């Protein structure tokens, strides 16, 4: 889709701090991280949300496990929230399917603190390089 932000990121027309790429999916750091290493994983093809086409989940599966393992190994995340907002009333703001991988650390654990932003300001391209390994 020509006016879709995440299609443009997938195509490289808008820069992102990429942590993963394969034939079907791309992973990159969220520009407004809730917690350090907050990553978005998206299918290369445009699909509005995760309830549009069941096969789109398969397209993310390898990336999901790969990125999750790297967030543990590279950043020392001791937990990861994996979630996807489907529909505006669920909080979806970009209508190209994406899964959030939100690393969690022992100093701010639990669901109650999920939305309490604690990521410090840092260079996201350097952080992406650290995650890629
Ligand atoms: P949603 O609210 O749709 O579940 O999540 C959209 C996410 O995209 C938000 O967490 C937001 O910070 C992130 N986001 C919005 N614009 C950009 C952008 O231009 N680049 C990146 N990397 N993330 C973005
Ligand atoms: Zn798109």
* Nearest ligand, measured from the Cα of 8: 2
Q: What is the reported pLDDT for 119?
A: 86
Q: What is the reported pLDDT for 28?
A: 98
The token pair at 51 is 């309830």
Count of domains observed in the chain:
1
Q: How far is the CA of 118 from the centre of ligand 2 (A)?
A: 29
Per the CB < 8 A criterion, the answer to whether 80 and 104 are in contact is yes
Q: What is the reported pLDDT for 1?
A: 74
Give residue 37's domain range.
Answer: 5-132
Q: How confident is the prediction along the chain (133 residues), in pLDDT tens digits per residue?
A: 789 999 999 999 999 999 999 999 999 999 999 999 999 999 999 999 999 999 999 999 999 999 999 999 999 999 999 999 999 999 999 999 999 999 999 999 999 999 999 888 999 999 999 999 9
Residue of 12, 29, 32 with the most ligand 1 atoms within 8 Å of its CB, for mutation: 32
Q: What is the reported pLDDT for 2?
A: 80
Provide the b/e sequence for 37-69 (b: ≥16 CB within 10 Å).
bbbbbbbbebbbbbeeeeebeebbeebbebbbe
**CATH number of the CATH domain containing 50:** 3.30.428.10
Per the CB < 8 A criterion, the answer to whether 41 and 64 are in contact is yes
Q: What is the reported pLDDT for 40?
A: 99
Q: Give CA 12 to chain center in angstroms.
A: 16
């Amino acid at each position: 889709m020509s006016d879709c932000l995440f299609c443009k990121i997938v195509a490289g027309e808008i820069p992102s701090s990429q942590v993963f790429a394969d034939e079907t999916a791309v992973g990159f750091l969220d520009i407004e991280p809730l917690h350090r290493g907050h990553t978005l994983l998206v299918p290369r093809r445009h699909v509005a949300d995760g309830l549009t086409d069941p096969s789109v989940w398969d397209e993310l599966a390898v990336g999901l496990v790969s990125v999750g393992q790297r967030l543990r190994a590279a950043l020392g995340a001791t937990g990861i929230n994996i979630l996807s907002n489907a529909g505006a009333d669920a909080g979806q703001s970009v209508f190209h399917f994406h899964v959030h991988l939100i690393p969690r650390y022992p100093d701010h654990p639990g669901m109650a603190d999920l939305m309490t932003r604690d990521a410090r300001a840092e260079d996201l391209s350097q952080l992406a390089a650290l995650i890629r390994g």
